[in-house]
Amino acid sequence: MIQETFVAPDPKSAYEEAVKKYGTGIKLVSAKQVKHEDGQLRTEISIAVPEDVFIAQSQLEVTEVETISSSEEAQLLEELGELKKQLALMKEEMFDIPNENSVEDILENVKTLFMKKGIAETWLDEVLTTLIDSNILDDETLLVSYILEEIDESLEVFTETLDKPKIMMLVGPTGVGKTTTIAKLAARYAYLMDKPYKVALLNLDSYKVGAYEQLAHYADIMQIEHVTVDSVEGFMKGLKDLDEYDVILVDTAGMSPYDTQKFIKTVEYVQSDMPRKVEVNLVLSATVKYEDMNDIYNNFAFLDLSSVIISKFDETKHFGTLLNFMLLYKIPMSYFSIGQEVPDDLLLASKEYLLERFIGDLEDE
């Protein structure tokens, strides 16, 4: 067997290049991700090719090259053929390493790895069923790379737009950091963009002790208009009074699935006759527990969510359950809150940022 390396943007493309050149009789030896000079990650796979197939393909490539005369071509082919045979013997001794694990073992190992890190078996099975009869299943490293590629393709990012006046309402469970996140967004829009936008804060959280004071403190520091209301009528009047502002950021009460009163009040606010476009953003902690995922989604999905803002990146090193939430419910990500500093610790959402942290956790196994 002769070993050859192929490089492509993803495992599937690399494997398809190998099959295109040598056919399906090849054997996967290894696979890994490598960073090229342009800074982009590529997949590099090594395959083992039967000696006769390798030589036949080499001779075919040579015959496609124009030569001066047929006699010289024949001599060259003979010399190359002999050289290929010698190289074949050398590489066979060096690289012909059998894969000891069965497909069943490889599938079990890879599924266990991802499930231990929080990825649901149902999602993994959906991805793996597309690989039936594929040689990708013969190699653990290549299979892990393939699943990571599928995760990357499945994640969605919400594009930040400020071309039209809008209302941004933040909703979410208690204690996820909605008020601090609103302050970061206010500072971003008012001071850190390509131009200063006129921003106002509207507070609906009359349940939390100190909620008004906290948001008012941020508004005072940034010299931003701040209004608090406690009824739907007050909410509509507040929106009308703030009509000249580019962005109105709305802070709502945090609630659990059992906060019936808050739940009803939030529905009333969201179903009001809004005077302009509204984006409802679910603030979700990176420390979300697997057991709470369904409750959180079911509690807020009816609000026609525009995006998820992920908070508390700095409070965990394990991102599998968060990633699982994004995969299962397919809500675009908009921002990442990575610390307590206002406004510095707020980033535009990025697949690469989230996947790098998940892969780091995966590699700790």
Q: What average pLDDT does this structure show over 354-360? A: 89
Query: Quick check: 239 and 263 in contact, CB under 8 A?
Result: no
**pLDDT mean across residues, the chain:** 81
pTM over 0.75: no
| Cα–Cα distance measured from residue 220 to residue 156, given in angstroms and rounded to the nearest whole number | 35
In terms of Cβ atoms closer than 10 Å to its own Cβ (0-12, 13-18, 19+), residue 103 is middle
What pLDDT score was predicted for residue 46? 80
Compute the CA torsion angle 296, 299, 304, 305 (nearest 10 deg).
-20
pLDDT reading at 265 higher than 70:
no
Residue carrying structure tokens 């001066």: 68
pLDDT tens-digit readout, 143-176? 999 999 999 999 999 999 999 999 999 998 888 9
Query: Quick check: 347 and 338 in contact, CB under 8 A?
Result: yes
Q: What average pLDDT does this structure show over 104-114? A: 90
Which regions of the chain carry the CATH code 3.40.50.300? 166-363
| Cα–Cα distance measured from residue 144 to residue 141, given in angstroms and rounded to the nearest whole number | 5
Name which residue leads in pLDDT, 59 or 27: 27
pLDDT tens-digit readout, 332-341? 999 999 988 8
pLDDT reading at 329 higher than 80:
yes
Percent of the chain with pLDDT over 70: 77
Nearest Cα neighbor of 47 from 97, 86, 109 is 97
Phi-psi region of 330 (alpha: psi -120 to 50; beta: other; left: phi over 0): left
Q: How confident is the model at residue 185 (pLDDT cuts 50, 70, 90)?
A: very high
| Cα–Cα distance measured from residue 334 to residue 21, given in angstroms and rounded to the nearest whole number | 42
- Dmax over CA atoms of the chain, in Å, equals 95
Q: How confident is the model at residue 327 (pLDDT cuts 50, 70, 90)?
A: very high
Q: Would you give the distance in Å from CA 121 to the centre of its chain?
A: 18
Helix (H, G, I), strand (E, B) or coil at 65: coil
pLDDT reading at 353 higher than 60:
yes
pLDDT tens-digit readout, 207-245? 554 556 778 888 889 999 998 887 778 888 888 889 999
What pLDDT score was predicted for residue 282? 95
| Cα–Cα distance measured from residue 119 to residue 290, given in angstroms and rounded to the nearest whole number | 10
For the chain, where are the E strands, in sequence order?
A: 2-8, 27-35, 41-49, 166-171, 199-203, 225-228, 247-251, 278-285, 307-311, 333-337, 346-348
What pLDDT score was predicted for residue 91? 41
Q: How confident is the model at residue 354 (pLDDT cuts 50, 70, 90)?
A: very high
pLDDT tens-digit readout, 123-134? 999 898 888 778
Give 27's contacts (C-beta < 8 A, 6+ positions apart).
1, 47, 48, 99, 135, 138
Percent of the chain with pLDDT over 90: 35
Query: Quick check: 155 and 354 in contact, CB under 8 A?
Result: yes
What pLDDT score was predicted for residue 334? 97
What pLDDT score was predicted for residue 295? 86
Tokens linked to 63: 């015959």
Multiple choice CATH, 166-363, 3.30.470.20, 1.10.240.10, 3.40.710.10, 3.40.50.300: 3.40.50.300
What pLDDT score was predicted for residue 267? 58
Helix (H, G, I), strand (E, B) or coil at 67: coil
